[in-house]
């Protein structure tokens, strides 16, 4: 069966994930790869319906367990409706946040039971584990500053941006701990400094990974024409 490549981008607020994904997608498309760009929470009609409930803070009063279940419901729909079909047809999927965000935001800083989180992950991901995960690593204070600049003066921070600096620092540490535990899947990218320099780091990491993985699977649609 034709098989593409599933890449997720993770990291704290303001790390520049969406900018880097857009630039990488353009580069891959220029090389004639079939590329699907998507994001979480959301990415499919069902998951986008849940996104607003989560990011507006409407689910917050019901506790982190409820939020984790909603993230998992959204992820399950996204995986089955969008990600798996795209990978099966041979596309490269670039996804802005995925299961590691749940591990970190709900599991670590949400304080949920690790066994509960593992069970939810297993159901939501249903075997669709990323081939590679790029963790864009940035000082938490700098990330919050960038997220604030991006938002502009008038707009309020969302449900997760509004949390304290200490919480964001714990999240950074938790992402780095995941990378250390799963070095074959995860690549830590230094997201500090100029966006063009970060872009070069992302490009180098992804093109190296594509070289290694796609020939081994018998390149099909994910091969440049």
- Name the site residues for ligand TYD (rule: CB under 6 A): 13, 18, 40-41, 55, 71, 96-97, 101-102, 105-106, 158, 160
Q: Give which of 21, 24, 1 is closest to 10, Cα–Cα.
A: 21
**Shortest Cβ 161–ligand TYD spacing (Å):** 6
Burial class (CB in 10 A: 0-12, 13-18, 19+), 186: buried
Whole-angstrom distance, CA of residue 20 vs CA of residue 96: 10
When the beta carbons of 126 and 215 are compared against ligand TYD, the nearer one is 126
Nearer to ligand TYD (CB atom), residue 6 or residue 105? 105
- For the CA atoms of 102, 106, 109, 112, the dihedral, rounded to the nearest 10 degrees, stands at -130
Query: In the bound complex, what is the minimum distance in angstroms from residue 3's beta carbon to ligand TYD?
Result: 24
CA separation for the pair 136, 11 (Å, rounded) = 5
- The minimum distance between CB 128 and ligand TYD, in angstroms, equals 14
Judged by beta carbon, residue 80 or residue 89, the one nearer ligand TYD is: 80
Considering beta carbons, is residue 5 or 105 the nearer one to ligand TYD?
105
Smallest distance from the beta carbon of 220 to ligand TYD, in angstroms?
Answer: 29
Contact 83, 38 (CB under 8 A): yes
């Amino acid at each position: 069966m034709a098989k593409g490549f599933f890449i997720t981008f993770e990291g704290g607020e303001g790390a520049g994930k969406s900018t880097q994904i857009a630039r990488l997608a353009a580069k891959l498309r220029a090389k004639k790869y079939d590329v699907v760009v998507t994001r979480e929470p959301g990415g499919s009609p069902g998951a986008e319906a849940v996104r607003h409930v989560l990011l507006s803070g409407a689910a917050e009063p019901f506790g982190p367990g409820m939020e984790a279940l909603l993230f998992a419901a959204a992820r399950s729909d996204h995986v089955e409706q969008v990600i798996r079909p795209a990978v099966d047809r041979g596309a490269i999927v670039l996804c802005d946040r995925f299961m590691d965000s749940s591990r970190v935001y709900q599991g670590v800083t949400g304080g949920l039971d690790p066994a509960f989180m593992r069970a939810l992950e297993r159901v939501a991901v249903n075997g669709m584990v990323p081939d590679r995960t790029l963790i864009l690593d940035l000082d938490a204070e700098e990330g919050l500053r960038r997220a604030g600049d991006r938002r502009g003066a008038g707009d309020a921070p969302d449900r997760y941006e509004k949390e304290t600096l200490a919480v964001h620092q714990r999240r950074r540490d938790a992402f780095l701990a995941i990378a250390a535990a799963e070095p074959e899947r995860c690549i830590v990218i230094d997201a500090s400094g100029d966006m063009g320099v970060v872009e070069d780091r992302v490009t180098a990491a992804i093109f190296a990974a594509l070289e290694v993985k796609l020939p081994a699977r018998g390149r099909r649609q994910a091969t440049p024409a």
